[in-house]
Amino acid sequence: MSVESIDLPASREQHAADVPVWQVRVGTRLSRVAAVAGIVLVLVLAVLPAIASRNLIQDLIFVLTMLTLAQLWNVLAGWGGLVSVGQQAFVGLGAYALFAGIVMAGLDPVAAIPLAGLFAALIAAVLGPLLFRLEGPYFAIGSWVAAEALRLICAQFKSLGGGTGMSISPSELSQMFGLKAVQALLGLRPAAARDVLVYWLALLLAVLVTLGIYAFIRSRHGLALAASRDNAAAARSVGVRTARIRHVLWIAVAFATGMVGAVVYLQKARISPDAAFSVTDWTAYVIFIVVIGGVRTIEGPMVGVLLLWGLVTWLAQYGSLYLVVLGTLAILIMLFMPRGVWGAAARRWQLQLFPTQRWLGRSR
Amino acid sequence: MSGFDTIIEGVLLGGVYALFALGLSLIFGIMRLVNLAHGDLILLAAYLVLSATTAIGLPLAAASLLVVAVMFALGFVLQRLVLERVLGDDILPPLLVTFGLSIVIQNGLLLGYGADSRRLQAGAFESSSVTLAPGLSVGLAPLTALVTAIAAVALLQLIFYRTSLGRAFRATADNPTIAQLMGVNERNVYATAVGLSLAVSVIAAVVFGIRASFDPSIGPARLLYAFEAVIIGGLGSLWGTLAGGIVLGLAQAIGGRINPEWQILAGHLAFLAVLMVRPRGLFPARRA
């Protein structure tokens, strides 16, 4: 360092201006393009029912609800380290709360959806402190036990069909909020209009959940969560309330999962404990989507759900073989491509559509 | 007398659950691996024994011994080729790989054997009973299950504390790095542990398959019972696991006596109650 630059106060300011300012950045140029493309895609999906066939709408309900569940599981297990194998509990609770609201309390189905989410969140709040006593991998089986217990409890409610389940008749759903408007707007029969309404609800949930998770992960709370997962003791030492942030995340994820369950079963209009609490349908598929797409990315579940959709249409006719293929694929991906399809592509071509990583860059 | 019968039934049922749990407890204790495919591997063993008795025509005992060898080898290879690659600080990969394995085995069994209920045939042994006291007789098969569970725990304790293999197990569990410095081959120890876990699971499968009918879909429930027995008993203690299995069996028997639909639920609730009151289990190991 030269003597002059220290001695002269006048040049000091000059010097400070030359020093590059380091900044933590998250966004990329590509991510701004992706944001615009994302908005366009959502708008296209929103007006799609005007031209799409009923089959496509039903397929897209599957895609959107599975995407939402996958995003939720990804934030819980991937970022939060709470590897739950019991998320079917909250799908089932949401679904049963919806049916109870419609059948027993005479609520409007659309109004019952957030209440179903609240019910799932309430049960999660009660179960959380118990299950969090189980460390890491034991939490996984513990959450599964809780889901099984809830399935058996739901099967005890004879007024909701007991162990065999029940259906809601179309007439009970015909007065549903918004249904008449959709019928008039698109000129559809009640059953098709209900699919469209459920589709919009699923789209709304998928967008809100994805944006919510994206904002959460990019916030300081997201950093705190990742810190609690990687090293709880170190995180606590810098002031992160690790237990609290996990508990709040667990409840929030249950709330959204419960609403997804309600939306799914509003479309099905038929419920049974075995289906609503199915570990294959609501957890194995979801885990498959996240693993194959890429854990700890926002884009991963999107890629994963499209791959699952393709595999379902192509392989589902083979029954059990299809699940053998899915499971084998998930194991191979975990062994040889642990970041998933999207993770590997992003690393190779430096793609960041919804960037969640932070890095230091010079602002000038 | 019916209350007493329920207790006997529960204790004997607990023997089976303890046998389910031993394999799970073993590999968690040694390598901190939670094997989500444990229940489905038990089912796989049951079906292999079934095939060995029906297709090859071996007597049950010989078939069981053969399958013990097969499952030990399978466990060894599974660890060496698959699990070894994902063990590490991150708990997610091993959980996901074993969960994938569970789905593959369950649906593979469904493809190979169909969804029908099966049972292992043990001849007159199945239906015979012994009289323990005047007016109190118990089925020979359930009694054998409990005795087998006790013998298996005793044998595993012996292996753990009286053999060089057990010393290697304990050393690796405490500190894999230092164990390796002392000349323990960590990879072989882990692979042997998984092999031993599956070999014990064959015993569980045979005892269970004689008592009750089974189909490919019931694997996950076996995993949950095994897990509940481990947690109720307390981590790190094999005798605790046996006690945990018996507590679970009692809870299910008592619940089932009140209302047949509550049998399984009562077990789950007992587990949650233990978690609430004694999160470290009823009989935890003295050393954490």
Q: Are A89 and B268 in contact, with CB atoms under 8 Å apart? A: no
HEC states along A11-80? HHHHHHHHCCCEEEECCCHHHHHHHHHHHHHHHHHHHHHHCCCHHHHHHHHHHHHHHHHHHHHHHHHHHC
For chain B, the residue count is: 288
Look at residue A191 in the predicted model and tell me its pLDDT. Answer: 85
DSSP B118: B
Residue B52 has pLDDT above 90, yes or no: yes
HSE-up (13 A, CA, CB side) for residue A223: 10
Look at residue B131 in the predicted model and tell me its pLDDT. Answer: 78
Instruction: Give the tens place of pLDDT for each residue, A254-288.
Output: 999 999 999 999 999 999 999 999 998 999 999 99
Look at residue A239 in the predicted model and tell me its pLDDT. Answer: 84
Instruction: Give the tens place of pLDDT for each residue, B207-217.
Output: 999 988 999 99
Contact A81 B99 (CB under 8 A): no
Look at residue B224 in the predicted model and tell me its pLDDT. Answer: 95
Q: What is the mean pLDDT of chain B?
A: 90
Q: How confident is the model at residue A351 (pLDDT cuts 50, 70, 90)?
A: confident
Q: Are B42 and B205 in contact, with CB atoms under 8 Å apart? A: yes
Look at residue A8 in the predicted model and tell me its pLDDT. Answer: 46
Contact B231 A142 (CB under 8 A): yes
Residue A76 has pLDDT above 80, yes or no: yes
Dist CA B162 CA B142 (whole Å): 30
Which of A97-101, A230-234, A263-267, B152-156 is least confident?
A230-234
Q: Which residues of B touch A (CB under 8 A)?
A: 28, 32-34, 36, 82, 85-86, 91-97, 99-104, 106-108, 110-111, 220-221, 223-224, 227-228, 231, 261, 264-265, 268-269, 271-272, 275-276, 279
Instruction: Give the tens place of pLDDT for each residue, B225-263.
Output: 999 999 999 887 889 999 999 999 999 999 999 998 899
SS3 B34: coil
| Mean pLDDT value across residues B41-50 | 96
Q: How confident is the model at residue A31 (pLDDT cuts 50, 70, 90)?
A: confident
Residue A357 has pLDDT above 80, yes or no: no
Dist CA A186 CA A27 (whole Å): 40
Q: Which residue of A has its CA nearest to B272?
A: A130
Paired tokens of B96: 């996901």
Look at residue A4 in the predicted model and tell me its pLDDT. Answer: 42
Q: How confident is the model at residue A77 (pLDDT cuts 50, 70, 90)?
A: very high
Residue A13 has pLDDT above 70, yes or no: no
More confident residue, A350 or B36: B36
Contact residues, A window 186-225, toward B, CB-based 8 Å cutoff: none
Residues of B in contact with A287 (CB under 8 A): 96, 99
A144 touches chain B (CB under 8 A): yes
Contact A279 B220 (CB under 8 A): yes
Residues 6+ apart with CB under 8 A from B21: B225, B226, B227, B229, B230, B233, B241, B244, B245
Q: Are B230 and B21 in contact, with CB atoms under 8 Å apart? A: yes
Look at residue B179 in the predicted model and tell me its pLDDT. Answer: 87
The secondary element (H helix, E strand) that includes residue A362 is strand A359-362
Residue B124 has pLDDT above 80, yes or no: no
Of A87-96, A305-314, B110-119, which one has max mean pLDDT? A87-96
Look at residue A19 in the predicted model and tell me its pLDDT. Answer: 66
Contact A323 B276 (CB under 8 A): no
Dist CA A161 CA B12 (whole Å): 34
Residue A168 has pLDDT above 80, yes or no: yes
Q: How confident is the model at residue B288 (pLDDT cuts 50, 70, 90)?
A: very low
Strand partners, B130: B138
Dist CA A188 CA A21 (whole Å): 59
Look at residue B286 in the predicted model and tell me its pLDDT. Answer: 60
Q: Are A58 and A195 in contact, with CB atoms under 8 Å apart? A: yes
Paired tokens of B34: 């939670």
Contact B224 A155 (CB under 8 A): no
Q: How confident is the model at residue A3 (pLDDT cuts 50, 70, 90)?
A: very low
C-alpha distances in Å from residue B140, one per residue of A76, B13, B132, B146, B253: 48, 13, 11, 10, 18
pTM assigned to the model: 0.90
Q: What is the mean pLDDT of chain A?
A: 88
Residue A22 has pLDDT above 80, yes or no: no
Residues of A in contact with B30 (CB under 8 A): none
Look at residue B66 in the predicted model and tell me its pLDDT. Answer: 96
More confident residue, A320 or B36: B36
Look at residue A14 in the predicted model and tell me its pLDDT. Answer: 54
Residues of B in contact with A321 (CB under 8 A): 107, 111
Paired tokens of A36: 């615009």
Axis crossing angle, helix A29-47 with helix A190-218, rounded to the nearest 10: 160
Residue A27 has pLDDT above 90, yes or no: no
Residue A1 has pLDDT above 60, yes or no: no
Residues of B in contact with A295 (CB under 8 A): 92
CB atoms within 10 A of CB B173: 18
Q: Which residue of B has its CA nearest to A331?
A: B97
More confident residue, B135 or B167: B167
| Mean pLDDT value across residues A331-343 | 91
Paired tokens of B251: 């809870």
One DSSP character per residue, B242-262 reads HHHHHHHHHHHHHHHHH-GGG
A315 touches chain B (CB under 8 A): no
C-alpha distances in Å from residue B268, one per residue of A334, B227, B251: 31, 11, 9
Look at residue A20 in the predicted model and tell me its pLDDT. Answer: 67
More confident residue, A328 or A13: A328
